[in-house]
Structure 1
Amino acid sequence: MDAENTSSPSPSGLTSPILVLGATSLIGEHLLTRLNALGTTPISLSRRPPSDDICWVDGDLADPNLADELPPVATVFSLSPIWLLPQALPALKARGMVRLVAFSSTSRFTKQDSPDASERAVAKSLADAEAAVEAFCAAHGVAWTILRPTLIYLEGRDGNVSRLAGLIRRFKVLPLSGQGEGLRQPVHADDLAGGAIAAAQAPAARDKAYDLVGGETLTYRVMAERIYAGLGRRPAILPLPAWLFRLLLTLAKPFYPGATATMGDRMAQNLTFDDSSARADFGWAPRDFRPRF
């Protein structure tokens, strides 16, 4: 059943009603704050919505009856893992979706040739989901934009930069595999929230995918030094031979869940991308990497 055509321009220039999927993610809080500041009232979907907030809907992207749980929608921001999105697209379209901005990840490219099978599986899931989203939207007249961030951070909450900060607090010294010369482009969650809104507003961003990077390209070691600075500490970085770092990582697994040997190997790899098309099409202008904890 198709939703009635109840869409209309909002003060922000976005087409309302607006639905946010994955609003409890790192980007979600900042996206909701920015949308409310623009004079919009977005609806958020969650399996565990706040009980006292009428702007949240109790629902699951995997629910075959999802369309029955949703209000009418026009613009959808998807912050959930993109591989969960294709199965929900028919329900979103049935409720009126005409514009979709969905987050994927540059891991689609950086992990596709990883020696770790689980990482290769993640890369394939990302690529397959992107293709499914593009195909569905093209077939059903939905304008889409896919955003692929690099290393996302949000002080105290992410599993990358903030995890390193936690290790520094606990052990004082941060070991590196080799000299940590691989290049990184960490990007703040709030910048991604602003970028998503800008992309949704920009006609040039329709039916395109973008790699979104932070405001600086810096080595893994310099990134670590900036984390020390954000903690108000003097850097204490210990370069180790790759074999010794792998051994240390194995011993540290109880304190560092999810650690793999490939994490050390990647410290020497350049994981960089070009964001020039995003800067040209919707004014992408992220901050430099200066975290504060």
Structure 2
Amino acid sequence: MSELVILGGSGLVGSDLIRLIPAGRPFLVLGRNPPPSAPSSWKPFDPIHGDLRTAAPEARVLLHLAPLPLLPGLLGRKLPPGINRIVALGSTSSRFKRDSGSGRERRIAQEQIEAEAAIAEWAERMRVAWTLLRPTLTYGARDRNITRILSFIRRFRFFPVTGGGLGLRQPLDVSDLAKGCLAVLDNPKTYGRSYDLGGGETLTYRAMVERVFAVAGRTPRIVNVPRTVARAGLRVMAHHPRWPFIDPEMADRMSADLVVDNAPAQDDFAFAPGPFRPERCLEGARSHV
């Protein structure tokens, strides 16, 4: 019987988390695209149209690693009746992008905020213990953050920044995030609470990029670009089908501090993330070149 169900196991965090699950704890992984070598603990599952009552009827604990706005649609009529614990991953975009000058980014932030509220309301009403984790800039093999910086550096041998790239960052290794997910599963201190999670090292955006240059084996060539020029360039790039994630607001965020307080997580579940290790992204960068 698999009481622990992991939804979204084929994503960035899932592979690290699955390796960390203690031996002897049965689990079931659900995802849209199980890897070809997936063991019997994997099942294909559509988080939008799927029904967890059918896919995992014996589930008691749900670890939701898929995009947070998908979870409210699964609550109630699509959840197994025995569910008594939910741990879900959100994003600090609900905090850092809610006042963005980009309508698209504000919508993303609002979707996160509304999903958080819906999950908490439903769980409290149904007396289901819930915990929400909001990671900051997350990195690892196949990530969409540091890996893209590394790929850009390898291809063009320089990297542009605005405002000197002096905004602070806390890059969070996906393995540390995975450990955090498992640490809260059976921890009553975390019930009914949300936590912002950052990495164990705080550094400027520029210093972060310099560390990526070192991993790429390149001498740092960081070019300070005027904000207006950077925004114009990003606006053009945003129309290219290869870069749907690009937004002109990225230029402004390079000089903004995007950091959180890890103290509540440290106190409640001994969250202890390590320093920034961009070498973790080397494997993923090959697929972005």
Percentage of pairs with the same residue: 39
Equivalent-residue separation in structure 2 for 1:276 and 1:114 (angstroms) = 27
Match of 2:255 in 1: 268
Q: Is the 8 A contact 1:66 1:91 kept in 2?
A: no
- What residue number does 1:19 align with? 5
Aligned counterpart, 2:43: 57
Question: What is the aligned residue count?
Answer: 277
- Tell me the alpha carbon deviations over residues 220-272 of structure 1, each in whole angstroms, 9 at most, x when there is no partner: 00010111122222211111211222233345554644222110111111111
Question: Whole-Å Cα distance in 2 between the matches of residues 289 and 92 of structure 1?
Answer: 39
Q: Does 1:76 align with 2:62?
A: yes
SS at match of 2:130: strand
CA deviation map 1:148-204 (0-9, x unaligned): 00001113x111110010000000010111200111111011100000000113221
- 2: CA distance, partners of 1:64 / 1:246: 40
CA distance in 2, matches of 1:164, 1:39: 39
How far is 1:75 from its partner? 1.3
SS in 1 for 2:75: helix
Equivalent position of 1:239 in the other structure: 224
1:207 to partner: Cα distance: 0.8
Q: Which amino acid aligns with 2:178?
A: A
1:69 CA drift (Å): 2.6
Name 1:107's counterpart in structure 2: 93
Aligned to 1:121, which of 100, 104, 107? 107
User: Structure 1, unaligned stretches of length 5 or more?
Assistant: 1-5, 7-15
AA aligned to 1:281 is D
Q: CA deviation at 1:281?
A: 0.1
Alpha-carbon distance between aligned partners in 2 of 1:124 and 1:159, rounded to the nearest angstrom: 21
Q: d(CA) in 1 for partners of 2:138 and 2:24?
A: 27
Structure 2 residue matching 1:234: 3-state secondary structure: coil
Unpaired segments ≥5 residues, structure 2: 283-289
**In the alignment, is the contact (CA less than 8 A) between 1:152 and 1:186 conserved in 2?**
yes
Q: Rate the CA distance shift 1:180–1:41 in 2: closer, same or farther, 3 A.
A: same
Of 24, 33, 43, the residue aligned with 1:48 is 33
Higher relative contact order (CA 8 A, sep 6+): 2
1:28 maps to 2:14: yes
CA distance in 2, matches of 1:113, 1:223: 25
> Does structure 2 retain, via aligned residues, the 8 Å contact 1:100–1:144?
yes
Q: What is the SS of the residue equivalent to 2:132?
A: strand
Change (3 A) 1:263 1:122: same
Which amino acid in structure 2 is aligned with residue 70 of structure 1? Answer: A
Of 176, 181, 193, the match for 2:161: 176
1:185-200 superposed matches below 5 A: 185-200=170-185
Contact 1:73–1:92 (CA<8 Å) still a contact in 2? no
Give the alignment of 1:270-285 within 5 angstroms.
270-285=257-272
**1:230 touches 1:290 (CA, 8 Å); kept in 2?**
no
1:90 is aligned to 76
Q: Which residue of 2 aligns with 1:138?
A: 124
Q: Is the contact made by 1:30 and 1:193 (CA closer than 8 Å) also made in structure 2? A: yes
Decide whether aligned partners of structure 1 residues 265 and 63 sit closer, same or farther in structure 2, where only a CA change above 3 A counts: same
- SS at structure 1 position matched to 2:83: coil
Q: Tell me the alpha carbon deviations over residues 70-119 of structure 1, each in whole angstroms, 9 at most, x when there is no partner.
A: 23111111001110001112256434111111000010011101110010
TM-score norm. by structure 1 comes to: 0.89
